[in-house]
Structure 1
């Protein structure tokens, strides 16, 4: 799915990932899979909207409020368990493997890229997602 995100007010930390591309995509550790860090920053309003694509741009992401804030996420197509588009949750961990080096809470591979290991987990019990169907005009590609 493609995700359009816009911070409406306040400040939040965003950390986003894409699955690591070859040759590192086969690196796994105890059920975790290697993911490349795409963004690790604090956003404050006003700021630009971001677009996260299915295979690039940090589609797996974590938002952490820095103060009272709101973010609008528009997903296309939306989550749908029946169609195989599940909302998944991950724990992020860092380990030293081969030529990777621990830098803070992420891995670094020579060349400047940063990586974490992501392990799928159960959804948080205190998280509530409110969805709504888009009822506006049809959106067309040009």
Structure 2
């Protein structure tokens, strides 16, 4: 009887000592960091640092994704090669997922309303372009502009635009630190362009939610010089290329983000 009891205690100790997976640690940290947050509420500085440290230590093998997976084999010849999304977990406080972008894959310029977002490039080289709003939230209706100056498409008649400042315009190669964007700072609106096959681990707090007004809005950019507005003048030390007019647009035609099963280490939700 005594030996059976001792054996049971050893078994319990071994179970307690069993290593917790990296994604389980990530999930539990997100639960802690976002516990008292909500739309537009940024986690504490300590919480942001803690979550960033966890993400910085995660590798592609920790989540079971590799550059040779079939998702990265591009067959389409369209402007938007198909992107795959692996859903790990979601609750009303946060969501965790992985975007798999094949070479030349693009997530067009889009926003993250009232969200704090952590993005960890697991492998690959990716160009990121990101903006923040610089005004009070109001849009202006502009006269017809010179369509030759547009970055994405022609301007057909008057458009409603809003001024934004460029925050990031660089290529990143893994391994690199986790990037963080906030509701009103850090490049809340960003565009991802995969130069090679890329995997991006994303944590959103809170997640998108259409009924609560947090839907994904896409944008077309127009150079600052594209429109002439009297009250939107730059200081002498500012460069026009650091600013752009953003026009809300529908989801770009041809953009396809397809869900696929996540087969990495499982998360035990609590």
How far is 1:27 from its partner? 7.0
Residue of structure 1 in register with 2:236 after alignment? 110
Report the CA distance shift for 1:55/1:130 in structure 2 as closer, same or farther (over 3 A): farther
One of 186, 203, 220 as aligned partner of 1:74 = 203
> CA–CA distance in 2 between the matches of 1:90 and 1:13?
17
Secondary structure at 1:31's aligned position in 2? strand
Residue 182 of structure 2 corresponds to 53
Residue 122 of structure 2 corresponds to residue 8 of structure 1: yes
- Of 79-88 and 118-127, deviating more is 118-127
Q: SS at the partner of 2:255?
A: coil
Q: How does 1:1-142 map to 2 (within 5 A)?
A: 1-21=115-135, 28=140, 29=142, 30-96=159-225, 97=228, 110-112=236-238, 114-124=242-252, 125-128=254-257, 130=259
Give the drift of 1:45. Answer: 0.8
Query: Displacement, 1:130?
Result: 4.4
The 3-state SS of whatever aligns with 1:36 is strand
Say if 1:52 and 1:84 are closer, same or farther in 2 by CA, change over 3 A. Answer: same
Structure showing the higher helix proportion among its residues: 2
Mapped to 1, the partners of 2:243 and 2:119 lie a distance apart of: 23
Segments of 4+ moved more than 4 angstroms: 98-101, 135-138
Aligned position for 1:104: none
CA distance in 1, matches of 2:243, 2:194: 23
Structure exhibiting the larger radius of gyration computed from Cα positions:
2
Q: Deviations over 1:52-102 (max 9, x none)?
A: 00011101000001111111221110000001101111111114236889x
Q: Which has the higher strand share?
A: 1
What is the CA–CA distance in structure 1 between the aligned matches of 2:245 and 2:218, rounded to whole Å? 13
Give 3-state SS (helix, strand or coil) of 2:196's partner: coil
Q: Any unmatched runs of 5+ in structure 1?
A: 102-107
TM-score (norm 2): 0.42
Tell me, which stretches of 5 or more residues in structure 2 are unaligned? 1-114, 143-158, 261-266
What TM-score, normalized to structure 1? Answer: 0.76
